[in-house]
Amino acid sequence: MKLAALQMVSGMRLEDNLAAARGLLEEAARAGAELAVLPEYFCLLGARDTDKLAIQEPFGAGPIQDFLAGAARELGLWIVGGTLPVTAGDGTRVRNTSLVFDPGGACVARYDKIHLFRFDNGTERFDESRVLERGSAPALFTLTARDGRAWRVGLSVCYDLRFPELYRTYAAQGADLLLVPSAFTHTTGQAHWQTLLRARAIENLAYVLAPAQGGLHENGRRTWGHSMLVDPWGQVLAEQAEGPACVLGDLDAERLAQSRRQLPALEHRLL
Catalytic residues: 40, 113, 158
Contact criterion met (CB below 8 Å) for 95 and 88: yes
Length of the chain counted residue by residue: 271
Instruction: Tell me the C-alpha distance between 135 and 237, whole Å.
Output: 31
In Å, what is the CA distance from 258 to each residue of 4, 68, 252?
Answer: 23, 35, 10
The H or E element spanning position 189 is: helix 186-204
Residue 268 — φ and ψ, nearest 5°? Answer: -105, 10
Q: Which helix (H) or strand (E) holds 75?
A: helix 63-75
Sheet with 2-7, strands from edge to edge, namely 107-112, 93-101, 78-88, 35-37, 2-7, 245-250
Burial class (CB in 10 A: 0-12, 13-18, 19+), 167: buried
Distance CA 15, CA 66 (A): 13
